[in-house]
Structure 1
């Protein structure tokens, strides 16, 4: 049986500014990426057809991969947004997005696929208006979850610095994965929105665990921190390992949605380790020794 031991970090070697500098710098870079993406594309992150509207058609093409993609490009009068292969089934998922608000005619695409000699495995379509409503509901759910989490944290600790430390960490845990989605070409979909909601839960869990050990349990600051790390780091690394396995498996079998969710969660959980045990901890130590709690 493999035993995992969390190393005890000597935090006395680092000042609060040094601990907070790295996560804050990463957060600033992430915000710049999102802002630049918004200026360039009109949206902070690329959106899937669930939010913009469009059509997704799954076809089987009897040709080598390079030739198959070329045949798919030539078969349709509308340029595909993306063409993804499913290796285990020798099929291709072709996405047509309605970015300009106009709808793509599924019947026309189906007819063109049949004329090209493709075998149609599945076809689904979302209207631009329905996609816009779905986007509003999904993003509204994320905002409501974040605000509810913030109110709950302030009600639990009733002091500004420990509470704002949790909120900032949770905010960073969402923003940095969003920036990574832009860099890696992962679209915002209902699945990735669910992953972001999960990250809020993971973030609050690890941050509240640290705050409770430091502020409400016996022992000095560093002893309490290490007790929290033994549980929190082990829990997060176990989740990261599980998400990596899911991502690799989903990629091999061509399950794009699960691969996207797993990738977002892997990056988000890694960011959560940084924010919890560097940014949050630096604010807690300042509060404990230099702030109003002194």
Structure 2
């Protein structure tokens, strides 16, 4: 009896407060958008990029006796954008060498390193990679288009699952394909913008649940980018591609929650939500635990994997917030308005 009363109190508290809980992700999303707008105005792009995306030189030197902090202090004045880290043995953790990258040319950075080290760099003791600025910018544009296209198709799939108008589904398929083709051809950006706006209106008007899922995934991406920038991370190609992975991680619990609330009618709204929460939070926390362990293992050994795992953990953390405070509140309001509550 006491358990039932306690359960009723919890339910009543949530029923009274769920609209207020929606304010939390809404404020965070607004802050992230404002911050990113200012960031773009100041830097000209939405992220900080490393030399793999801006063009420059990367040098790996196989000398385990170099002190990284001393190297940085000697070279930073001449190369203010220089980044340096040690290369360690995966099993023992012993330093095997070091890695530096800068936007400077090959001759400039290798000359400075040779002066510091006191010997000539060659194929036996070093590895040098140079990426041209034009090539890097072109590749970065392609990756951005791929992420945007993936998000468009994710939104389409969600609408095909939860939308009810066959006519609007057909129109959405056509519009999404046209937008994707234009994106990969980098043509008619104004038309792409109009198509995206039309898709947003279709999703909102013809399927609130679809719009809620897409909004939640969008918030995950935007908040993650904002925090990554606040942390000062310079993203490599792998870091940018990590956002492609995050799109998939972002929608799985949202689709689970939406399916339980919209497509099933057994039990009360709160019971269906709680059932979805138990499954969804287990999925997310399990993923976060696996990624966290992987991050801990490779933290000092692979900058590429470190960046990918860091982005995924941040994104999954925001996914918990946006799914169970944001999307859940929108769906609960929608289901109650539509009278899909089932037994109370």
Q: Do they fold alike, i.e. is TM over 0.5?
A: yes
Gap regions ≥5 residues in structure 2? 1-8, 89-93, 164-205
CA distance in 2, matches of 1:260, 1:192: 6
- Tell me how large the CA RMSD over aligned residues is: 2.5
Residues 49 and 234, structure 2, Cα contact 8 Å, conserved in 1: yes
- Shift in CA distance, 191/224, structure 1 to aligned 2, threshold 3 Å: same
Task: Tell me the secondary structure at the aligned position of residue 252 of structure 1.
Answer: coil
* Bigger RCO (CA 8 Å, 6+ sep): 1
Alignment of 1:8-47 (within 5 A): 10=10, 12-14=12-14, 15-47=17-49
* Aligned 8 A contact 1:48 1:189 in 2: yes
Alignment map for 1:33-182 (pairs within 5 Å): 33-59=35-61, 60=63, 62-73=65-76, 78-86=79-87, 88-97=94-103, 104-116=104-116, 117=118, 120-158=125-163, 159-182=206-229
* Residue matched to 2:308: 261
TM-score (norm 1): 0.86
Of the three residues 268, 278, 289, the one matched with 2:336 is: 289
User: In the TM superposition, what is the alpha-carbon distance from 1:251 to its structure 2 partner?
Assistant: 1.8
Q: 1:273: Cα distance to partner?
A: 0.8
State whether structure 2 residue 288 is matched by structure 1 residue 240. Answer: yes
Where does the alignment leave 5 or more consecutive residues of structure 1 unmatched? Answer: 1-8, 98-103
TM-score normalized with structure 2 length = 0.74
Q: Tell me, yes or no, if the aligned pair for 1:80 and 1:94 is still in contact at 8 Å.
A: no
The 8 Å contact of residues 62 and 68 in structure 1, kept in 2 or not, is answered as: no
- Give the length in aligned residue pairs: 279
Please identify, of 51-60 and 62-71, the stretch whose mean Cα deviation from structure 2 is larger.
Answer: 62-71
Task: Pick closer, same or farther for the CA change 1:289–1:203 going to 2, 3 Å.
Answer: same
Q: Deviations over 1:10-56 (max 9, x none)?
A: 45413342121111111111112212212222222101222211111
Q: Distance in 1 between matches of 2:138 and 2:12?
A: 51
Asked if structure 1 preserves the Cα contact closer than 8 Å seen for 2:68 and 2:84, the reply is no
Residue 114 of structure 1: CA displacement?
2.7
Tell me the residue number matched to 1:219.
Answer: 267
